[in-house]
Amino acid sequence: MTQSNRRNIDREISRQNEGMVRKNDTPPRLQRRSTKVAKKEEIMGVLTDILRGERQEYHVKAVHKKGVYYDNEGRKCQRDDEVMESCECPAKISDLWRTAELLCRLAGYTEENEKLEDLPPTVIIDGAEEL
C-alpha cells in the first residue's frame, strides 16, 4: 500500500468517526486547556458585553452557589462554590460577577494590591438598570 493510499484511507476513517463518541475519548472538561491568564480588564470587558446584551454566553466558566440544577438537556449537575466549571446553563448576572471576583483573585488582583489612586473611574454600564 502506498503512502498516499494510506493517507486517503485514514482520512476516510476519520470522516466516518466524526461525531462518534468512543469510551476512551477524554471528556471536554478533562482535556488540557491553555494556561493563558486573562487580564482584569479583559475579564471585566467580557462581563460588560454580556450585561449589555452584546454577547450571549451559554458556555460560561461560572462559579455557582452550591446546589443541584438541570442543564438544557435535562442532565443533573452539581454546583460548587469553589470550582470553576464549564456549564451549559444560561449565565446569570450574580454568577458572572462572582466569577469575575474569583478570576481576579486567581490572577493576583486583590483589594489589598490596589491603591485608591490606581483605580479606574467607575464604569457605567448602559442598560444595566433594565436587568
Domain assignment present for residue 34? The answer is no
**In total, how many domains does the chain have?**
1
pLDDT at 82: 44
Q: Is the residue at 57 inside a domain?
A: yes
The backbone region for 38, taken as left when phi is positive above 0, alpha when psi lies in -120 to 50, beta otherwise, is: beta
- Residue 95, in any domain of the structure: yes
| C-alpha cell of residue 109 | 488582583
pTM for this predicted structure:
0.23
Instruction: Return the sign of the alpha-carbon dihedral for residues 23, 24, 25, 28.
Output: positive
DSSP readout, 59-93?
Answer: SEEE---SEEEE-TT--EEEE-TT--EEE-SPP-H
- Kindly state whether residue 60 falls inside one of the protein's structural domains: yes
Q: Could you read off the pLDDT tens digit of each residue along the chain, which spans 131 residues?
A: 566 666 666 665 555 555 554 444 555 555 555 545 556 666 677 767 766 766 655 444 444 455 666 666 777 776 554 444 445 555 566 666 666 776 666 666 655 555 444 545 555 555 554 44
Residue 127 lies in a domain: no
78 in a structural domain: yes
- Distance CA(95)–CA(90), nearest Å, equals 10
Q: Read out DSSP for 31-42?
A: S----PPPPHHH
Distance (Å, whole) CA 8 – CA 11: 5
For residues 64 and 79, give the distance between their C-alpha atoms in angstroms, rounded to a whole number: 5
Residue 96 in domain = yes
Residue 111 belongs to a domain = no
- Domain limits for position 76: 39-106
